[in-house]
Amino acid sequence: MAKLHVKTGDTVVVLSGASKGVKGEVIAVSPAEGKVMVKGANIIHKHVKPRRQGETGSIVDTEGAIYACKVALYCPKCDAGRRYKTEIKVDEKTGAKTKIRKCAKCGQEL
């Protein structure tokens, strides 16, 4: 399974397409499709049909999936979407290793 460079809860910036420049939180990822859903990006009108008797159909504004390659992790220091590098951080006391992500441009921990 292909892994995506962003995960749920990340703040990303949309780089291209109709929602270019939109900054938002990743609310869902689909590694199988290579797509992500970003809060506030690619708003689609979903036509909801009545499911039960007495219910009425409606049009709901919701986020649509966009290709993950169109988004980049947001760097608060650069105030832009950036590529990031991954580093292994070793805790001096416990020796525990954790992966950290740093902005490729300014080195800000993300």
By the criterion CB under 5 A, which residues form the site for Zn ion?
75, 77-78, 103, 105-106, 108
Name the E strands within the chain: 11-14, 23-30, 35-38, 43-48, 58-63, 65-67, 71-75, 80-82, 84-90, 97-103
Residue with Cβ nearer Zn ion (45 or 77): 77
In whole angstroms, how close is the CB of 102 to Zn ion at the nearest point? 8
Closest CA to 81 of 100, 106, 64: 106
Residue with Cβ nearer Zn ion (36 or 72): 72
Alpha carbon distance, N-terminus to C-terminus of the chain: 24
Distance of alpha carbon 37 from alpha carbon 26, whole angstroms: 6
In whole angstroms, how close is the CB of 6 to Zn ion at the nearest point? 16
In whole angstroms, how close is the CB of 29 to Zn ion at the nearest point? 22
Residue with Cβ nearer Zn ion (66 or 73): 73
Residue with Cβ nearer Zn ion (18 or 78): 78
In whole angstroms, how close is the CB of 106 to Zn ion at the nearest point? 3
